[in-house]
Structure 1
Amino acid sequence: MTGLRIELRRSTALWAGLLVLVSTTGMLLLLTSAGASWKGNSTTAMLELRLPLAYVWALVVGLAVLQGMRDSRSGVTELFSSTSRPGWVRLGTLASAVAGVVAVATVLLCAGLVAVVAFGGGFVSIGFVPLMVTAVIALASSVLLGVAIGRLLPHPLTVPVALVATFMVATAAGQELQVTSPDDEVSRLALLAPVLDPPNTDLVTTSTSVDIGQIVWFTGLGVTAFLLLVSRSHGGRLASLLPAGLAAALALTILPYKISDVLVTDSIAGELVCDGAVCLSRAHEDSLPAVAVVGKEVLAKLAVLPDPPTEVREDTSAMAHLAAPPRNEKIVYLRSQSLAEVMSPEQLRLELLAGAGVATCSRPNTFNTTESTVLHLTAGYFNGGLAALPSESLMWGNDRIRGEIEEAWQTLRAQSAQEQLNRVAQARRMLLACEDSERTLDVLTAPR
């Protein structure tokens, strides 16, 4: 214990821990907004750490490499090698001090984020624990590797090269994990870095296979790093690479290759809680009373349709930000983003009525003026008049497109009441079948 206290005082251990706390907190404040979705779920908060971790990871490794060069820079390598005390004891104490402080700092950082979520009224569950464990092991093992590299390669360029190389690995891994479709494949090698873009909703987490694969890899890397640090012979150093090699091989067989298997719905936060026919995720349960009132009103308005929907349910899919919304003739799906945007009851009602309770077949963040017109017309039919849809604000704000919507609205309203209902019902069936949007609009606006 005496040696550990000395290393805590004389090494960079405390500085490394402070670096993790201060730099990560600062980057979170700079990179996230006041209404960021991670504040609604403790699991999402852990995923939010993965973005600043790309930078902090490199800084911590660079500092660890500098610490590993201490004996060489002080010119005492030969002196310590001639003492009767085993080298692995002294080096193990140093490694334990630096890696231990970084691990504790990471735990404190994670605990602080969970506290922010809890005191902010967000959803807290044990789902964040695997993500926290992964982050702790990743940083601690990387610190051990940095100390080992600094001891083996005590050159002035080692620190900047290690720092830049780690940052480049983190950046490349982040780019490899950027996808545009739920069916896109990702590089398993990219998942060996503790980097991930923050999710778009607070209902997403990493799959069990990702958590296990990363924990196995970083544990093996930590064992190899420690053995490299204490080994004195070339044969011992070569043998010390075996744990990392085995861990990498095992991790690559565990890690998934499709993004839809990397990010999954948080089974705890995404569990549905219902008020009659209206269901929300457990993470958004506080909004259920207000949404239930709107949802039941929407179902009552849609009841005039043949085979009307009977449920309003939140879409808890992990791929909701990449895939077209689900469709079911008996269910009106509510996007999680609609709650995150703090829609008023009137806005939420319009969103649920749009498409006669059916979303378009386009992926999120796409722009289609024809689909927008269909959504506005169907929402306007049940609303009794045209109104701006929050999800289509860009379309409504364009004077030309808005003029086309109003012209189409006048054409629809010129029909008899029964004809209007028939056309809206037909448009709903076409939306359920994902038929061409041009044809759907023609059904609504065709001359008598």
Structure 2
Amino acid sequence: MTGLRIELRRSTALWAGLLVLVSGTGMLLLITSASSRWTANSTSAVLELRLPLAYVWALVVGLAVLQGMRDSRARVTELFTATSRPGWVRLGTLASAVAGVVAVAGALLCAGLVATVAFGGGFVSIGFVPLMVTAVLALASSVLLGLAVGRFLPHPLTVPVALVATFMVATSAGRALEVQSPGDEISRLALLTPVLDPPDSDLVTTSTAVDLGQIVWFTGLGVTAFLLLVARTHLGRLASLVPAGLAVVLALSIMPVKYSEVLVTDSIAGKLVCDGEVCLSQVHAVSLPVVAPVGRDVLAKLSVLPDAPSEVREDTSAMAHLTAPQRDRRIVYVQSQGFPRPLSMTGDQLRLELLAGAGIAGCAGPNTFDTSGGVVRYVTAGYFNGELAELASEPLMWNNSRLRGDVDEAWRQFRGQPAQEQLNRVVQARQMLLACEDSERVLDVLKASR
């Protein structure tokens, strides 16, 4: 313990821990937007650390490499080699001090985020634990690797090269995980880094396969790094590579190939809580008293339809940021994505959103603009509402004079039909939306153009 206390005072251990806390907090505040929802769920909060970890990771590795060069810079390498005290004891004490402090700092950073969520009235569960363990192992094993690299490559350029190389690996891994659709394949090698840019959602987490694979990899990397640090012979250094080699093979065999298997719905936060026919996720259960009466009113208005929907349910899909909304003839889905988010709307706004499309969401994917689809949503919402009103999710259609003209013209043609014909047209449009048919054809049906 005396040696450990000395190393804590004389090494960069405490500075490395402070670097993790300060840089991690600073980068999190800098690169996350004010609209980010990570404060609503402890699991999302810890997952949000994955993006700033790209910067923290590089800084920590660079500092560890600098610390590993201490003996060489002080020109005492031969002196310590000649002492009776085993080298692995002294180096192990140094490694324990630096890696231990960094690990504690990483855990404190995660704990601070969880505390922020708790004190802010957010949802807290044990779902953040695997994410925290992975982050702590990634930082600790990287510190050990940095110490080993610094000890065996004591060159003035080693620190900047290590820092830049780590950052390049992190950014390359982040780009390798960028996809356009859930079915896209990703590089398993990219998952061997702790870096991930999560969607702006409080309902997703990494899959068990990703967590387990990363824990195996970073554990093996840490063992190899420590053995490499204390090895004195070439044979010992070669042997020290075995744990990392086995770990990477095992980790890659565990890691998923498709992006849809990387991020999954948080099984705890995404569990549905119901008030009669209306169900929301646990993380959004606080909104249930407001949403439940709106949902029941929507179901009552939609009951005039044949085979009318019988429940209102939040869409908790982990891939909602990449795919068109879910659709089911029996369910009216409350979307978890989009801006503004439905659960942040007033009761009247939410009612119109759920009535639009006769309870069926549009087929357009996220971040797309479909003029015909928007007109269809306005007309169908107006039918059940009795008049046209602004949809909070489609403000441009309402405020733009040309687009508003399209809406008014379609509404005039639709209302010019007999009452029974209007209902029949809405029923037909609903069936087409369920089948995701072209929005222009759906609009033609409502306008009696066909």
Same fold (TM over 0.5): yes
Residues 384-393 or 83-92, more deviating = 384-393
Query: Which structure 2 residues correspond to residues 136-175 of structure 1 after superposition, within 5 A?
Result: 136-175=136-175
Distance 1:341 1:12 in 2: 47
| Ranges of 4+ aligned residues in structure 1 off by more than 4 Å | 338-341
1:28 equivalent in alignment to 2:3: no
Provide closer, same or farther for how the CA distance between residues 340 and 387 of structure 1 changes in structure 2, counting only shifts above 3 A.
Answer: closer
- Out of 387, 396, 399, the residue aligned to residue 397 of structure 1 is 399
Per-residue deviation at 1:341? 6.0
Cross-structure match for 1:289: 289
Per-residue deviation at 1:384? 1.6
Cross-structure match for 2:364: 362
Cα pair 1:44 1:199 within 8 Å, conserved: no
SS at match of 1:162: helix
Distance 1:241 1:383 in 2: 68
Provide closer, same or farther for how the CA distance between residues 24 and 138 of structure 1 changes in structure 2, counting only shifts above 3 A.
Answer: same
Provide closer, same or farther for how the CA distance between residues 330 and 341 of structure 1 changes in structure 2, counting only shifts above 3 A.
Answer: closer
- Out of 383, 386, 394, the residue aligned to residue 384 of structure 1 is 386
Cross-structure match for 2:309: 309
Per-residue deviation at 1:392? 1.9
SS at match of 2:427: helix
SS at match of 1:336: coil
SS at match of 1:25: helix
Residues 152-161 or 356-365, more deviating = 356-365
Per-residue deviation at 1:340? 6.8
State the AA in 2 paired with 1:404: D
Cross-structure match for 2:344: 342
Distance 1:333 1:152 in 2: 59
State the AA in 2 paired with 1:366: T
Cross-structure match for 2:415: 413
SS at match of 1:14: helix
Distance 2:341 2:438 in 1: 29
Query: Which structure 2 residues correspond to residues 417-432 of structure 1 after superposition, within 5 A?
Result: 417-432=419-434
Per-residue deviation at 1:371? 0.7
State the AA in 2 paired with 1:382: F
Cα pair 2:343 2:350 within 8 Å, conserved: no
Distance 1:379 1:440 in 2: 14
Distance 2:164 2:448 in 1: 62
State the AA in 2 paired with 1:427: A
Distance 1:261 1:373 in 2: 35
Residues 398-407 or 73-82, more deviating = 398-407
Per-residue deviation at 1:365? 1.2
Cross-structure match for 2:195: 195
SS at match of 2:155: coil
Cα pair 1:47 1:199 within 8 Å, conserved: no
Provide closer, same or farther for how the CA distance between residues 340 and 351 of structure 1 changes in structure 2, counting only shifts above 3 A.
Answer: closer
Q: TM-score, normalised by structure 1?
A: 0.98
1:64 equivalent in alignment to 2:64: yes
Per-residue deviation at 1:401? 1.4
Cross-structure match for 2:234: 234
Per-residue deviation at 1:329? 0.6
Per-residue deviation at 1:447? 5.1
Per-residue deviation at 1:35? 3.6
Distance 2:28 2:346 in 1: 29
State the AA in 1 paired with 2:131: L
Distance 2:400 2:27 in 1: 36
Aligned identity (percent) is 77
Provide closer, same or farther for how the CA distance between residues 340 and 88 of structure 1 changes in structure 2, counting only shifts above 3 A.
Answer: farther
Query: Which structure 2 residues correspond to residues 268-287 of structure 1 after superposition, within 5 A?
Result: 268-287=268-287
Residues 356-365 or 91-100, more deviating = 356-365
When the two chains are superposed, the root-mean-square deviation of aligned CA atoms in Å is: 1.2
- Give a deviation string over 1:378-399, Cα, whole Å, max 9, x none: 1111112222222222333332
Cross-structure match for 2:257: 257
State the AA in 1 paired with 2:385: N
Distance 2:445 2:303 in 1: 21
Residues 140-149 or 407-416, more deviating = 407-416
- Give a deviation string over 1:348-394, Cα, whole Å, max 9, x none: 11110110000112211111111111111111111122222222223
Q: TM-score, normalised by structure 2?
A: 0.98
